[in-house]
Amino acid sequence: MTAREAGRAVAEDARRFFAKSFGGDPTLVVSAAGRVNLIGEHVDYNGGIALPIAIQRRTAVAVRVRDGARVTHINSGGTGGVLRIDHGKLARRRKWTDYPSGVLDQLVGVGINVPGLDVAVASDIPSGSGLSSSAALEVAFDFAVRSALGLDAEPVALALECQRAERQFVGVPCGAMDQLSAACGEQGHAMLMQFAPVQMTPVPFAERVLVVDTATPRSLRASAYSERVAECQTALAAIQRLAPETATLASASLEQVEAAEMPDVPRRRARHVVSECQRVRRVAEALASGAGFPGAEANASHASLRDDYDCSTPELDWIVEHVRPVRGIAGARLTGAGWGGCAIVFGEASALEALTESLPPAYERAIGRAPRTWLVGADDGVRIEA
């Protein structure tokens, strides 16, 4: 199945759920992609640079404007019945509808009088695996609603609106990488993203990467993530006492990180952020020159995330250590926030293919959990499905 066909299948599901729940056809079906970050982890909220790809796993949203009360009726294939979101009483409920609710909260907040909507959602992005299913849902929903209402839906502005929804409504102090990737990805390209200010340069990327899900719970992730954001702020404040012109942690030098007065923990966080941006730059240069993904940079990124950022787990470490010696494998690292989620593996197509067979049973013997694996390449971000 090509990427287009896979996207169409999810869009078809959304259309089917729509007909079943509300009768008739939606006005519009929009899909947005999950993402795999090739390199550049925990740098987006520090004003750094990252290199994600949008992947061929998508979330589709079918929408139709309804007359009457300003209430969204929403159904997701994975859940039971139709849920109601009252635009006048938007509140966080700690479930998946918080993402569309957060987007509605943004739209209402800028004075858009969102009418009643019928919405059906379908997705083949595994949730809870760190492949940004939530960002894809926010972006697809926002794009669908804005398009259905004839409002501007410029991808970068829309992604930043979705990031605000996640920060202000869902309550995660995330950077903009996931939403920007879901909105702006380009088939056959990784997106070199700069975050302060936002700027994107597509870099040719025709490889596939192997994604391996650790299948571990990630209950600690939200609190640990917020803690890292705060530690990075502490590190920046310390560097600014030394060099007041430093605007973001990512723009500091390694010399400043070592010279500034701060405790060991924020210093290690800062060391990761600054060195990670240097790795992203080197990888982008290698890819732009037509070379394959430099696996050594992936390995160094993982070591830095494990040792300085403390966001790896024994399961992630097991995967990267297990695959690195395999012939044809270039390198491996954790991807996304860490604390569970997925690892990614770079290398020759045949070697990655072989790992999809050999790795799951070996992981299950060692760890006692069955991991899922996916071979993915770079796909489009958000798009209207015909």
Residues near ligand GLA (CB under 6 A): 37, 41-42, 44-45, 174-175, 177-178, 336-337
Q: How far is the CB of 71 from ligand GLA (least distance, A)?
A: 29
When the beta carbons of 119 and 170 are compared against ligand GLA, the nearer one is 170
47, amino acid identity: G
Backbone angles phi, psi at 331, to 5 degrees: 175, 175
DSSP string, 278-335: HHHHHHHHHHHTTPPP-HHHHHHHHHHHHHTS----HHHHHHHHHHTTSTTEEEEEEE
| Contact criterion met (CB below 8 Å) for 371 and 213 | yes
Closer Cβ to ligand GLA, 175 or 360, answer by number: 175
Q: Which is nearer to ligand GLA, 26 or 336 (CB)?
A: 336
As given in the structure block, the two tokens for residue 41 are 């982890």
How buried is 330 (Cβ within 10 angstroms: 0-12 exposed, 13-18 middle, 19+ buried)? buried
Distance CA 249, CA 235 (A): 7
3-state secondary structure at position 67:
coil
Q: How far is the CB of 257 from ligand GLA (least distance, A)?
A: 19
Catalytic residue, chosen from 13, 178, 379, 380, is 178
Cβ closer to ligand GLA: 41 or 98? 41
Alpha helices in the chain (DSSP H): 3-22, 98-109, 133-148, 155-164, 177-184, 221-242, 254-259, 264-288, 295-307, 314-323, 349-367
Residues 196, 47: contact at Cβ < 8 Å?
A: yes
178 is catalytic: yes
The least distance separating ligand GLA from the CB of residue 162, rounded to whole angstroms, comes to: 11
- Using the minimum distance from each CB to ligand GLA, give the nearer residue, 116 or 128: 128
The nearest distance, CB 221 to ligand GLA, in angstroms, is 9
- CA torsion, ordered 200, 204, 209, 214, to nearest 10 deg: 0
Provide the minimum distance between the beta carbon of 154 and ligand GLA in the complex, in angstroms, as a whole number.
Answer: 20
- Which residues carry out catalysis? 178
